Chains A and B, each alone.
Chain A
Amino acid sequence: MQAKTVLKAFEAAAGAENVFSDPADLATYAYDAAVLEKVMPAVVVRPTTSEALGQVVRLCNENRLPLTVRGAGTNLSGGTIPHPGGVVVVTNGFNRILEINTEDLYARVQPGVVTAKLAAAVEAQGLFYPPDPGSQAVSTLGGNVAENAGGLRGLKYGVTRDYVMGLDFFDVDGGLVKTGGRTVKCVSGYNLTGLMVASEGTLGVFNEITLKLIPPPAYRKSMMAVFAEMGQASEAVAAIIANRVVPATLEFMDNFTIRAVESYSQAGLPLDAGALMLVECDGYPGQVEEDAAKVESICKALGAESIRVARDDTERDKVWEARRAALSALAKVKPTTVLEDATVPRSKIPAMIRALEAISRKYDLTIGTFGHAGDGNLHPTILTDRRDAREWERVEAAIEDIFEEALALGGTLSGEHGIGTAKSRFMEKETSRATILYSRRIKSALDPNNILNPGKIIGGAS
């Protein structure tokens, strides 16, 4: 079909008001939150119904148009940056919560539903949807599933993957594929749900997602421990887990991050502390008190300079305010913020922290580290200015070193941000040549024209 005819076909499918081809509109879908070059799409479509979405996918395949699905565009690895001249399918107009079932404990949603909106709707019904990625105020559930998004509660409650019970998605021909369902147990057919989670839009386009809900914890307790050195804090993290305590959240931040947060929010943090550890235990009151007491004594035994236990909700909010402010505070230090998420087995955190400090010195870069210590998911954040070409070269070299170190410690390139295009060339190092080839065979069988988000995860875009 001619370009004009294709445009008309998109308009017929999704409605003229939902198809954008003006250069000024296209330029606003050329990026996501990753520090990567912009790529202009040829057209943007914002379907609002299931039928429209299916037709758009089929049209893209018939016309060999590369298709990139986009929710809120908060991806940190370039997964929602389109292919040159491709089609961006925006899901934020396809955003209804279809059902919250309080008897069978699940929710059915369209992929454009914002994570925090579902969490709030579920809470209003007395239930709990735990995954809480940092971007939850804007991120969409479709994006969360496509990236297998994590969050602060990963340690105890797991990540998005652990809550996906079933999916409907469109294949490249616009056929509706169904996998999993509303039952706790379901072994009918291949576990396509598992295949689709974290597939970053390369294997199908989500139409409907069924998510598991759980009862909320009855009680929670938060505390903040101050350590002179990062090493002590990371030992405390390992010791807490080794002592069979699984807090809901176990976070830490290094001295640089502490100082950035303090200068940003004057929260009264100790400026000379080497590390700050933030812990929240939840569950039944008796168990929570017991766990909290254990955490306190472990921290003391390992040299914590002070421990502050939140006595009420206001104090609890104060504890978490500091953690929530971490990225903002760091982002204000320099124009460009490169947020990495290399992850290691948690026993290796002390080694990874030492490696990060060495990398920071080696390349003369400012790196603030904070993150989900409890699950080994660190966020070394490089603060730089993309316009400084020579420093940028050092940043790229440092990122490579961070990946090398994480892999050498038995870790992974990405705990929760995805591979996208930013990390695809390192995939083979973490896995194997055979893994890449196997994945590409799956991809080419399901998407023979390579139209679904080409080039992401496993490379191979022409």
Chain B
Amino acid sequence: MTQMHALSRLMTSLEDQLVVCMKCGMCQAVCPLFAETGREADVARGKLALLDGLLQQMFDDPEGVSQRLNKCLLCGSCAANCPSGVSVLEIFIKARAILTGFQGLSPAKKAIFRGMLAHPALFDRLGEWGAKFQKVLTKPVNEVVGTSCARIMSPLIGKRHFRPLAAVPFHKRVPCLDTPAGAAGLKVAFYVGCLADKIFPDLAQATVDVLAHHGVGVFMPANQACCGIPAISSGDTDTFQRLVRHNIRKLEAGTYDALVTACATCTSTIKEVWPMMTATDPGLQADARRLADKTFDISQFLVSKLGLAGEEKTDEDMPVTYHDPCHLKKSLKVWAEPRTLINASRGYRLQEMPESDWCCGMGGSFNIQYYNLSGRIGERKRNAIRATGCGIVATGCPACMMQISDMLSQGGDALRVTHPVELYAESLKRK
């Protein structure tokens, strides 16, 4: 019991944020998980009540609360729709950190985060080996989507249709960059992100090409590390801060006007989570804040800083539908710019899908732990995409690209899954 008392004391740091919830229940309307299960513990109001329960020492054991807290996509749909403005994501991430600090990290997560993720060079090597050996265990399954599946029953892969590791990751193609500002008179730092580096190197290449085309100088330091979101989502503050420190040290070596990424999750992590979860190291937090202030999603940068605008479209142009990554639209309110980018791409035109901002169900580790639920949420996204009749679906986040690829591929659909900046880069080449 004294243990629960100690936990309650730790939770008091969240009390002022928890009381903001007036229990109106409006989060039920937008939570992608609740839409599938109808269980109150799955929606923000229920989880906030559980955290309040820890504060009030209602439970003998934190495990039940911990499990339910972790069963969340961290998509932020609830926060974006909350009438009283509860900082749901901040509360959940901080509470996960408190609970992990209290209960300890599982051995598997410890091995992944502290043994691999925290060592960027090792992580890169493992990825390269994986790319060489993955063909032994997996085989291509959908040529258009570009997915593979397991050759033999594998508990890790399950029935997933996944986008395989690229044969040559981006850091092997282009280890580092430092080009001066050109016609645009601007220079950016490019933070690549794990998925763009290891699975979607063409996306990273497209980003660099587009910046070069517009005369934007690029600083891309070698040996970048993961942004830390997988670690902090599991409450591993140590690994998270180590990664933030590593990245900031690398990024501080250059001078530039803005930091850009082509990954919605990386962008929102750098802008929001880095400053939020580094309070225990004030120096680091100050650096993180400075960087956050000049961090942009690539489409946001191209539209707001370079003034890219959409073109007139005709029926001749190929229709492209767009999925709003939660971390772009709900966290950063970036939704118009990627659409503009699609319409700025010659030969393509935007065609909206129904409920384009409904979460795709990926949610990082949520997909690993709750694959069936993740799939049910993804199925809804697949149906929305299919309803447009488009042959291309674009989205601003490589994680969403993976989930959407899995869903379309399993449904046997022949759609191309891409990123708006890839379409734009292509259209530049065609000009």
Contact = CB atoms under 8 A, between A and B. Distances in A.
A387 B19 contact: yes
A138 B50 contact: no
B24 A27 contact: no
Contacts of B16: 335
Question: Which of A20, A30, A116, A328 gathers the greatest number of chain B CB atoms within 10 Å?
Answer: A328
B49 A46 contact: no
Contacts of B38: 46, 90, 92-93
A24 B64 contact: yes
Nearest to B42: A28
Contacts of B40: 25, 28-29, 73, 90
B373 interface: no
Interface residues of A, number: 37
A84 interface: no
Nearest to A29: B40
Interface residues of B, number: 29
B25 A72 contact: yes
Interface in A24-80: 24-25, 27-33, 35, 38, 40, 46, 72-74
A332 interface: yes
A327 interface: yes
A135 B26 contact: yes
B148 to A, nearest CB: 33
A72 B40 CA distance: 9
Contacts of B3: none
Contacts of B159: none
B26 A337 contact: no
A385 interface: yes
Given A23-B59, A24-B41, A27-B58, A335 B50 contact: no
A331 interface: yes
A73 to B, nearest CB: 6
Contacts of A312: none
B85 interface: yes
Nearest to A329: B83
A28 B26 contact: no
Question: Which of A20, A28, A40 gathers the greatest number of chain B CB atoms within 10 Å?
Answer: A28
A386 interface: yes
A31 B40 CA distance: 11
A346 B59 CA distance: 49
Contacts of A328: 83-85
A127 B236 CA distance: 53
A440 to B, nearest CB: 30
Given A23-B59, A24-B41, A335-B20, A72 B84 contact: no
Interface in B36-86: 38-41, 45-46, 49-50, 53, 58-60, 64-65, 67-68, 83-85
Nearest to B67: A24
B137 to A, nearest CB: 33
Given A74-B25, A138-B29, A331 B65 contact: no
Contacts of B23: 31-33, 73
B39 A25 contact: yes
Nearest to A44: B40
Contacts of B25: 32-33, 72-74, 135, 138
A445 interface: no
Interface string B22-37: 1111101100000000
CB-based closest 7 A-B pairs:
A24-B64, A328-B83, A28-B46, A331-B84, A28-B40, A137-B29, A335-B19
13 contacts: A24-B41, A24-B50, A24-B65, A25-B39, A25-B64, A27-B53, A33-B22, A90-B38, A135-B26, A327-B83, A331-B24, A335-B19, A386-B19
